[in-house]
Amino acid sequence: MDIVKKSLLMLAGILLLAVGITYWQLGSDETLENEATSGQTLDNTTEERGGAANIAVYVCGAVKNPGVVLLSPNSRVGDAINSCGGLLPNANAENINLAEGVKDGMQIKVQSRNMNPGSEGMGQGTALPGKGESADGKININTAGIEELTRIPGVGKATAQRIIDYRAQNGTFEDIEDLKKIKGIGKAKFEKMAPKITI
């Protein structure tokens, strides 16, 4: 009788041990599976992020803060302009397709309403031969291209480009003294320029 009891107790102990080992193995497999799934999710997320890298777009002209902006690939021209602070009051918005999709390396140039006819492209330094010099030999700072602006005393190509960029963003000069608003043109430099310029 004692032998039977001992045998039953041993059998029960073996069964409990087997059940315990089974549960432990199941728990380990579940943990490994969760880790594998988590790793797969992280990898997928990384791939998705890598596939949706930002693109660079250059916005210039009649916007508040011209420059290069980073946008998501599905952005529109309107998003690029808003990233630069929006349009200036004198911007010619009718000539811009705000719904157009943007591409990496794209340039968006916003023209001003009061730019002179034929001045398109002036923001890139296009020279306008014969339109910038008046009969008395003075240079018209509203219509002159880079080459003509460099004929003004004290004006090199860098300053000439800044004058053209100012026109592209703010429209034509209303007074020759408005040149003082441009970086690099102080009182002394303006006094050298004044006898040779007109509007």
Q: How far apart are CA 124 and CA 139, in angstroms?
A: 19
Domain presence at residue 85: yes
| Paired sense of beta strands 67-71 and 139-140, if any | unpaired
Encoded amino acid at 45, one letter: T
Residues 136-148, mean pLDDT to the nearest whole number: 85
Domain presence at residue 11: no
Q: Give me the number of domains the chain comprises.
A: 2
| Mean predicted lDDT score pLDDT of the chain | 75
Backbone angles phi, psi at 59, to 5 degrees: -110, 125
- Kind plus residue range of the DSSP H or E element containing 146: helix 146-149
Least confident of 16-20, 98-102, 154-158, 176-180: 16-20
Q: Are 166 and 123 in contact (CB under 8 A)?
A: no
> In this predicted model, what pLDDT tens digit does every residue of 162-193 receive, in sequence order?
898 888 888 888 888 889 999 889 899 999 99
Q: Are 77 and 96 in contact (CB under 8 A)?
A: yes
CATH number at residue 182: 1.10.150.320
Q: How far apart are CA 196 and CA 139, in angstroms?
A: 6
- Terminal-residue alpha carbon distance, the chain: 124
Residues 9-31, mean pLDDT to the nearest whole number: 67
Q: Looking at mean pLDDT, say which of 7-16, 39-48, 155-164 comes out highest.
A: 155-164
- Classified as helix, coil or strand, 110 is strand
> In this predicted model, what pLDDT tens digit does every residue of 43-88 receive, in sequence order?
444 344 444 689 988 888 888 888 888 999 999 999 999 999 999 8
pTM of the model: 0.37
Same domain, 87 and 148: no
Distances (CA, A) of 28 to 19, 96, 137: 14, 61, 90
- 41-72: burial string, b at 16+ Cβ within 10 Å, e else: eeeeeeeeeeeeeebebebbbbbeebeebebe
Q: What is the pLDDT of residue 29?
A: 54
Q: What is the pLDDT of residue 199?
A: 85
The band of 113, judged by pLDDT with boundaries at 50, 70 and 90, is confident
Domain presence at residue 34: no
Per the structure, the complete domain to which residue 133 belongs is given by: 122-198
Same domain, 104 and 143: no
Domain presence at residue 14: no
The band of 5, judged by pLDDT with boundaries at 50, 70 and 90, is low
> In this predicted model, what pLDDT tens digit does every residue of 26-48 receive, in sequence order?
665 555 455 444 444 444 443 44
